[in-house]
Amino acid sequence: MQNTEPTLESVTNAFNEWRANKKGARSHTPETLKHQALVLLKHHRISHVIDALRLNSSTLKAWKLKQDGHQNSAQFIPLPTAESSVNEPGNNGRPLQITLRTTSGAEILVSGDLSPAQLTALVKGMHTNQEDF
């Protein structure tokens, strides 16, 4: 029986070709390439796959979690109740406005009252689940 699993070299070449021909800097990785990268984990250490494919370790781990059927936790990030607002005196009466961007290019615009604990929880949640945004 013939081995049909991709090799590290073939997947590296496929990623390089995709990067050279993708439509924009924020193009999402095709599902076929994600799948091939995950297949490589059966035979290679994660560090070798990350280095060869030039991937972020968080990204590859997120793909693995998604493949394994773990629920997307990025759809809802629980925030603690507000103790004190970032929109306090000294802010010239203007509401807080922050744009958070993930490495995949997703953005979340936060505006209004937000406590430091809530902002921290939001940033941590986005970092943990960055592939899902």
pLDDT, one tens digit per residue, over 52-82 is: 999 988 888 888 878 877 644 445 566 667 6
* pLDDT given at position 117: 82
N- to C-terminal Cα separation, the chain: 41
Closest among 65, 51, 57 to 11, alpha carbons compared: 51
Closest among 50, 47, 63, 51 to 131, alpha carbons compared: 63
Top-ranked range on mean pLDDT: pick from 19-23, 82-86, 99-103, 105-109 = 19-23
Q: Each residue of 2-11: pLDDT tens digit?
A: 568 899 999 9
Query: Do 77 and 130 belong to one domain?
Result: yes
Residue 109: domain span: 73-133
17: left (phi over 0), alpha (psi -120 to 50) or beta: alpha
Confirm if 87 and 117 have CB atoms less than 8 A apart.
no
Of 49 and 93, the structure prediction assigns the larger pLDDT to 49
Query: Do 79 and 60 belong to one domain?
Result: no
Confirm if 8 and 49 have CB atoms less than 8 A apart.
yes
Predicted model pTM: 0.53
Query: Do 79 and 117 belong to one domain?
Result: yes
Confidence band of 122 (pLDDT split at 50, 70, 90): confident
Q: Which of 31, 47, 67 marks a domain boundary?
A: 67
Confirm if 86 and 119 have CB atoms less than 8 A apart.
yes
